[in-house]
Chains A and B, each alone.
Chain A
Amino acid sequence: MMKVNFSQSIGETLMGKIFALLCVSGMVLGSIESLQAAPPGRKVRIAVLMYGNKAEFVQLMQRYGKQHPAVTSGLADLTFYDGRYDAAVQNDQAQLAINSKYDAIIVNPLDFEANIEVVAKAKAAHIPVIVTNARLNTQEMTSAVDSDDVLGGYMEAKAVLQKLGCRGNVVIIEGPKGGSGEIQRGQGNNKAISECLAGAVRVLERKTANWSRSEAMDLMQNWLQKDKGKINGIIGQNDEMALGAIEAIKSAGLNVHDFAIAGIDGVSDALNAVKRGEMTSILQDAKAQIQASIDVAMRAVLGAGYQPMSPIWKQYERDMKWSDGQSKHYLVPWMVVTPTNADELLASRR
C-alpha cells in the first residue's frame, strides 16, 4: 500500500515529474558517456562546431578530422557539435565551448553574417578560432580555411562547356536562393558561360532544387518535358542535384551520355557516376579543409615549434603553403575527379 502511494505521488507531483525526468536523462547521458571513454592525459582540446550533420560532406569532414595524425596519436582531442542548421544554436554552442575551456574552436558556419558572433566571442575569450569550409563576413578570426566557390562554379561550368564545344543549350540547377553557395557558384557559372562566343550558349532554365537529389529529379523531369530534345548540358551547383538530373534523364528513357553534366563536392555517388562516365565532379576536399584547420589550430595553441602533421600539406605543396600556420586565409584547391582518382577517393572512404 505504501509503495503504491509513493509511486503515485512521484508520478503526480511536479517535483516527482522533474525527478523522474532527471533520472531518465541521467541514465541516457550516462550510457552515452560510457560509450565514449575519456582518454587520459593533457591534450589539445578542440571544439569543432558544424552547422549540421545531415550532409555527407559534413560526415566526411568529421571522419577525416578523426583521422588527423594529431588525433590518432593522441596529441589532440576533437569534440564535434551539431549546429542543427540553426545559426543561433551554433552561437550558443560557441559559448558552451568557451565555458568548457576548450583550447581552440573550429567552426563550419551556417550563416555568412549571423555566425560572426562565434568569432567575436572566441576572440574576447582569447581562444584561437578557425573558420572552415564556409565563410564568415569578418577578419577577426585566427585563420580561414576554405575553397573558392566562384572558382568551383567556374570549373564545373567550364567542364560542361568544354564537352559541348562552347555551344548549345544548358540548364542550371541552383542551390538554395540567396545562400552564399548559390550566389558564388552562380557567379562562376556565369563567368564560364560569358567566355564562350556571345549567344553561342543559351541558359534555357535556371531554378533552385535546394541541394536535394529528389527535388532536382522532379525539376529536371519537368524541364525534359518542356524543352524536349533541346537540353545539351546540365550544370548542377552540387553533386546531389546533378545526380538527380541523371536519374531524371534515365527515367525519361534518354541516354545520359548524350548530355554534358557536372556537379561540385565529390560525394560518393558522384564518384561512382564519374567512373561510369556520366558526369564531371569537382571535388571540394573535405579532408584538406578539416585537416588543415586542425593543424592551424594546433599551431595557434602550441606555438611556433609546431610542425603540421597532416599529409595534405605535401599533397598541395604547390598551391597551398603552410607559411608557419600564420596565413590569414588558406585556399584549398579544387580537384577535378577523374575515373582514376575516383577509385582512390572511394577506397579512402571505406
Chain B
Amino acid sequence: MAPDYELAKVEQAQPVEPFEELPSAADLWRARESLGNVRKFARNYGIVVAFILLCISVSIVCQYRVVKGDWTENIFLTTDNFRLILYQISVNGILAVGMTLVVISGGIDLSVGSVLAFAGMLAASCGTSLSGVTPWSGNYALAVPILFALFGGVACGALNGWVVARFRIQPFIVTLGMLLAARGATMALTGGNPIASLNPQFRWLGNGKLLTVPVPILLFAMVFTVAWIILNKTVFGRYVYAVGGNERSARTSGIRSNRIKIWVYAISGLLAGVAGIILTAKTGSGQTNAGSSYELDAIAAAVIGGTSLSGGVGRLSGTLFGALIMGVMNNSLDILGVESYYQLIIKGVLIVTAVVIDPARKAAE
C-alpha cells in the first residue's frame, strides 16, 4: 500500500494523469468482494426478494382493479388478508418444515399426506360425541386426541426411518409404501366412514383464536421456531446436514447416521400428526381422503425455498417463504378470479423456475 501511495503523490505533480481514473488493486478487491456479497445476499435472501416482488406485483394488479372502479379498496393488501394467508398455509407449512429436515438429510417423505389423515382420524375417533366408532371412542376434550394423533404420527414416521436406515432402502420406496399403508389404515380405522360432530374444545385448535391470532398460525410459529433452533443451534442439526451432504464421511467421522435418519423421519411424522390435528379441527370432521397429495405441496414449498433434493443443502427460512409464496399465489388467484386450470400451470412453472434460478444451486456448480 505504502509504495502505491508514494507513487501517487509523485505523480500528482505531473500535469496530465491518464492513469488516475483506473481502479486500483484495492478497488478491484472491494468490487469483487461486493459482487460476492451480492451473490451471498441473493443466496440468503433471494427467496425473500422473490416473495416481496410477488406481493408487489399482485398489489399492483389489485390496485388497478381499484382504479378501474371494480373494487373500493385493495383487497389483497389488508392485514385480514395476510392473516388469512398465514392461516391457510399453516397446515402445508408444518408439513413442509418436517419435509425440509428429511430432504436436508438426503431423504424424502412421501407419506406425510396419508400420515396426516391417519393421525387426524385417530384424533377424531376419540374426540367425537358419536361413540362406538373405535374401541377407544369417547368424548375427550383435548389431551387424549392430541396424544393419539401425535403418537400415531411419530410411530409411522419412526417406522419409515427405521426401515430406511436398517435395510438401506431408498426413502422414496419406503415412504411410498407408507403412503399407501397409512391411507389404508385410516380407512380401516372407521370402515371408511368420516367422523363428524367433533367437540368444540378440540375444534378450537383449528378455528379458535388467541388475541386475534388464529390458533393454527400460533402452532405453525411454534413448530417453525423449535425446528429452526434444532436445525441451526444444536449438534443434531449439524449432523442432519452432515448426513445429507455426504453420508459416508459423516459416518467415518463418528456420526451415527442411522440414528439421525430415524429421528428425522420421526420428526416428520410428528409434524404430520400436528398438521392432521389442525386440519381435522379446521374442517370439523375426520375424513379418509384428507391430505391427499399434500406431500407434493410440502415438497414444493421446500424446493421453492431452496432446499436441494440431493441433500445437505437447505434452510427453514427458505421453506417458510416457499410456503408463503404458494399461499399468496392461491389466495391472489382466487381473489383475482383466475380459473383453477391456470392456477396449476402457474404453480408448476413456479416450482421449476425456482430451482432453475436458485443461486445456491449455481454456486454448487
Which chain B residues border A54 with CB–CB below 8 Å?
Answer: 187, 192, 288-289
The interface residues of chain B lying within 8 Å CB-to-CB of A58 are 192
The CA of A59 and the CA of B191, in the complex, are separated in Å by: 8
Q: Please tell me if the beta carbons of B207 and A251 are within 8 angstroms of each other in the complex.
A: yes
A59 adjacent to B192 (CB under 8 Å): yes
B197 at the interface (CB under 8 A from A): yes
Contact status of A53 and B192, CB under 8 A, knowing A214-B290, A223-B334, A225-B335: yes
A126 lies within 8 A of chain B by Cβ? no
Does A218 count as interface, using CB distance less than 8 angstroms?
A: yes
Interchain CB contact under 8 A, A219 and B334: yes
A188 on interface, CB distance cutoff 8 Å: no
**A222 sits at the interface (CB 8 A):** yes
Partner of B331, one of A56, A177, A205, A222: A222
Contact assessment for B289 and A221 in the assembled complex, using a CB-CB cutoff below 8 Å? no
- Decide if A55 is an interface residue (CB 8 Å cutoff): yes
Would A222 and B192 count as touching, CB distance under 8 A?
A: no
Q: Given that A53-B187, A251-B207, A269-B196 are contacting pairs, would A214 and B284 also be in contact in the complex, using a CB cutoff of 8 Å? A: no
Cβ–Cβ < 8 Å partners of B282 in chain A:
214, 217, 247, 251
From A212, A214, A251, A268, B196 is in contact (CB under 8 Å) with: A268
Residue pair B80, A225 in contact (C-beta under 8 Å) = yes
Chain A min CB distance to B323 (Å):
14
Cα of A242 to Cα of B288 in the assembled complex, Å: 18
Q: A59-B192, A268-B194, A268-B196 are in contact. Are A214 and B335 (CB under 8 A)?
A: no
A93 to B87, alpha carbons, bound, how many Å? 43
A228 to B340 Cα, complex, angstroms: 21
Complex CA gap A269/B129 in Å reads 13
- Taken together as a complex, chains A and B put the C-alpha atoms of A268 and B194 apart, in Å, by 9
A42 contacts the other chain (CB 8 A): no
In angstroms, Cα B284 to Cα A243, docked, is: 9
* Complex Cα–Cα for A59 and B288 (A): 11
Contact, CB under 8 Å: A56 / B193: yes
Given A207-B340, A272-B197, A221-B285 contact (CB < 8 Å): no
Q: Which of A53, A226, A244, A251 has the most CB of B within 10 A?
A: A226
Docked complex Cα distance between A29 and B246 (Å): 42
Q: A208 near B: Cβ within 8 Å?
A: yes
Docked-complex contact B283 and A217, CB < 8 angstroms = yes
Q: How far is the CB of B279 from chain A (nearest CB, A)?
A: 6
B23 interfacial contact with A, CB 8 Å? no
Q: Is the CB of B84 within 8 A of A225?
A: yes
Asked if A213 is an interface residue, CB under 8 A from chain B, the answer is yes
B288, A214: Cβ atoms under 8 Å?
Answer: no
CB <8 Å contact, B81 and A247: no
Chain B residues with CB under 8 A of A123: none
User: With an 8 A cutoff between CB atoms, is A250 at the interface?
Assistant: yes
Chain B residues near A214: list those with CB within 8 A: 279, 282-283, 290
Residues 181-226 (chain A) with a chain B CB within 8 angstroms: 205, 207-208, 212-214, 217-219, 221-223, 225-226
Query: B290: which A residues are within 8 A, CB to CB?
Result: 214
The verdict on A205 contacting B337 (CB below 8 Å), with A53-B187, A53-B192 known, is yes
**Cβ-based interface call for B330 (8 A):** yes
Closest to A205 in B: B337
Interfacial chain A residues near B187, Cβ < 8 Å = 53-54
Q: Which of B88, B283, B287 contacts A221 (CB 8 A)?
A: B88
The answer to whether A213 and B88 have CB atoms under 8 Å apart is no
**B75 interface hit (Cβ, 8 Å):** yes
| Cβ-defined contact, B335 with A222, below 8 A | yes
In the complex the two chains form, what is the Cα distance from A59 to B197 in whole Å?
A: 18
A interface footprint on B296-339 (CB within 8 Å = 1, 0 otherwise): 00000000000000000000000000000000001100110101
Given A208-B340, A221-B84, A226-B335, are A213 and B287 neighbors across the interface (CB < 8 Å)? yes
Which chain A residue lies CB-closest to B340? A208
B194 closest partner in A (C-beta): A56
Are the CB atoms of A269 and B284 closer together than 8 Å?
A: yes
Q: Which residue of B lies closest to A206 (CB)?
A: B337
Query: With a CB–CB cut-off of 8 A, which chain B residues contact A213?
Result: 283, 285, 287
B19 at the interface (CB under 8 A from A): no
Q: For the complex formed, measure the closest distance between the CB of A304 and the CB atoms of chain B, giving whole angstroms.
A: 37
Subset of 15 A-B contacts with CB under 8 Å: A54-B187, A54-B289, A56-B192, A177-B341, A213-B283, A214-B290, A218-B334, A221-B88, A222-B331, A225-B80, A225-B335, A226-B334, A243-B283, A269-B194, A269-B197
A sample of 5 more A-B contacts (CB under 8 A), given A268-B194, A269-B196, A272-B196, is A53-B187, A177-B341, A217-B283, A222-B334, A250-B207
